Amino acid sequence: MKKIAVVVSAFALFMLVLAVVPVMAAPTEGQKVEIEMKWTPIMSSIVVLENRLSNDVTHRHVTLTWNVELKIVGGDTYVGTAFNDRVAVYVPQEDGQNRIFRDYYELSFPSEGGGFKGNAMVFTTGWVAGVYEGVKTHGVFHGTDNFEGQTINAGAMPWEPYNPSMVWPGYLLKP
């Protein structure tokens, strides 16, 4: 009788542990695909919405448009545009100017019937006369319409802006 009580107690404890421990999801069957995003600014599209100076720090709100090529490494290249709503902070330093850009993007690939929306951060150091000492970028974009469920994670370091383009390596997660 003691054996049965021990077995029942052990089984009850086992069931309790199963009820308390979270269920681990199985890995997705999605694909992680290497990409490159080539960004070329349309300089005539820049609109300064706000520009203010506070304690030698410049705050600037601008919008601009980019031509974008989304290259799937070993596959297709999609060509489109990206609307960019940017908030920039310029901080003077002895050796140049540091800049922080907070960007919101809406990428559109009309021939594919969709695009991506998301945010990116750009950090620059040592800006003097259009040349940066160091730059880091990172963006995450979520698919819309025919790209629904897909996510781009991309960025670059180092980066030389407007020469005339920049390329962000990264990857595309497909469901």
Calpha distance 127→57 (Å, rounded): 14
Q: Please report whether residue 16 resides in a domain.
A: no
Q: Taking a C-beta distance cutoff of 8 angstroms, is the pair 32, 173 a contact?
A: yes
Q: Please report whether residue 75 resides in a domain.
A: yes
> What token pair was written down for 119?
């945010």
Q: Taking a C-beta distance cutoff of 8 angstroms, is the pair 113, 135 a contact?
A: no
| Tens-place pLDDT, residues 49-105 | 999 999 889 999 999 999 999 999 999 999 999 999 999 998 888 777 788 999 999
More confident: 25 or 159: 159
Q: pLDDT category, 150, cuts 50, 70, 90? A: very high
- CATH assignment at residue 146: 2.40.350
* DSSP H or E stretch at residue 146: none
Q: Please report whether residue 66 resides in a domain.
A: yes
User: Which runs of E-coded beta strand occur in 9-154?
Assistant: 31-54, 57-72, 77-93, 96-109, 114-127, 134-145, 151-154
φ, ψ (nearest 5 deg) of residue 19: -75, -30
* Cross-strand pairs, 51: 60
* Cross-strand pairs, 63: 47, 85
pLDDT of the residue at 156: 82
What is the span of the domain harbouring residue 80? 29-174
Q: Please report whether residue 113 resides in a domain.
A: yes
pLDDT of the residue at 61: 96
| Tens-place pLDDT, residues 9-33 | 544 444 433 343 333 333 445 789 9
> What token pair was written down for 93?
């330093």
Q: Please report whether residue 15 resides in a domain.
A: no
Measured CA to CA in angstroms, residue 108 lies from 101, 111, 119 at distances of 21, 9, 15
pLDDT of the residue at 98: 85
State in Å, rounded, how far the first CA of the chain is from the last one. Answer: 54
How many separate domains does the chain show?
Answer: 1
Q: Please report whether residue 13 resides in a domain.
A: no
Q: What is the DSSP letter of 27?
A: P
Report the mean per-residue pLDDT for the chain. 81
How would you classify residue 164: left for phi > 0, otherwise alpha for psi between -120 and 50, otherwise beta?
alpha
Calpha distance 72→68 (Å, rounded): 13
Q: Which stretch of 76-80, 153-157, 159-163 has the lowest confidence by average pLDDT?
A: 159-163
Q: Please report whether residue 10 resides in a domain.
A: no
Residue 50: alpha-carbon gap to chain centroid = 25
Q: Please report whether residue 17 resides in a domain.
A: no
